[in-house]
Amino acid sequence: MTDTTQSPTPSTSAQSLDVFSSSTKEEQQSQIAIYVYQSPIRAWHWLNMFCIIVLCISGYFIGSPPPTLSGEASDHYLMGYTRFAHFAAGQIMVYLFLGRIFFAFTGNKYARELFLLPVHSQEWRNGFLEQIKWYCFANNQAPQFVGHNPVAQCIMFFGFVLPAIFMIVSGLALYAEGLGMGHWLYNVTDFMLLFFDGTMAIHTYHHLGMWVIICFIMLHLYAAFREELVSRQSMISTMISGWRMFK
């Protein structure tokens, strides 16, 4: 295993790291490893995942409540606990997201990839096409990338970052309704009523946003497991240890 932490390749593409062309048997069996995801990114990823699972389950039951239980509502407090779980996970997600934005400025260049799509870069666009071909089974070898592959980057941006921002703002606007007019959070989020025709519309689009995020999760899991198994680079273990291994 070669430790290249000192000077990772400046290019996003790791084609030059291909070790299959190495001559000796020892070289062919060696692996290149690059430290990509710093610990705050990994911690954010898994904590954020936990919050989103809680938010999707509790949100689903807020939108489609279970049948009424017998007895005093306050005795079992089922919807109370469901809503509490939603609001608690929602607020943790907000702080985690703010922390993730802060780390995009202070972390390494891979920490910024989630928020920036370098569409002006020819190399990035070529990588995008190569990755599409690989996903369509039109290439027999996966292209290698040190950070996110360009297709994953696009899906993460449009399928997670933008919907997550919408979920946060709309969720806070709904929460502020409970706090009442005059509360600072109500004053900050009532601009949403300029875009949506009343609270019911915000509820509906907040609900729809959940299904957008669930579609992202399904694609994301398929891609993460598929790339872990059949591409020539580590994937899931990279989000655990931070190191990308090239086989």
Question: Using CB under 6 A as the criterion, which residues of the chain lie in contact with ligand HEM when the complex forms?
Answer: 41, 45, 49, 52-53, 55-56, 59-60, 62-63, 83, 86-87, 90-91, 93-94, 113-114, 148, 152, 156, 160, 167-168, 171-172, 174-175, 203, 206-207, 210, 213, 217, 220-221, 224, 235-236, 238-239
Minimum separation from the CB atom of position 94 to ligand HEM (A): 6
Main-chain dihedrals φ then ψ at residue 113, nearest 5 degrees: -60, -30
Nearer to ligand HEM, 59 or 127 (CB): 59
Nearer to ligand HEM, 21 or 184 (CB): 184
Structure tokens at 52: 């989103």
| Contact in structure between 36 and 244 (CB atoms under 8 Å) | yes
Q: What is the maximal distance between C-alpha atoms in the chain?
A: 76
As a whole number of angstroms, the distance between CA 93 and CA 234 comes to 27
Nearer to ligand HEM, 27 or 240 (CB): 240
Q: What is the residue-wise DSSP string for 128-140?
A: HHHHHHHHTT--S
Minimum separation from the CB atom of position 190 to ligand HEM (A): 14
| Contact in structure between 17 and 144 (CB atoms under 8 Å) | yes
Please report how many Cα atoms fall inside a 13 Å half-sphere around the Cα of residue 4, on the Cβ side: 19
Pairing of strands 32-35, 2-3: parallel
Nearer to ligand HEM, 28 or 179 (CB): 179
Structure tokens at 221: 């899991």
Minimum separation from the CB atom of position 69 to ligand HEM (A): 17
Minimum separation from the CB atom of position 27 to ligand HEM (A): 25
Q: Which residue sits closest to ligand HEM, CB atoms considered? A: 171
As a whole number of angstroms, the distance between CA 193 and CA 52 comes to 25
Structure tokens at 156: 């993460």
Structure tokens at 12: 């996003």
Minimum separation from the CB atom of position 243 to ligand HEM (A): 11
Nearer to ligand HEM, 167 or 192 (CB): 167
Q: Which of 207, 204, 174, 210 is nearest to 192 (CA)?
A: 174
Nearer to ligand HEM, 21 or 181 (CB): 181
Minimum separation from the CB atom of position 157 to ligand HEM (A): 9
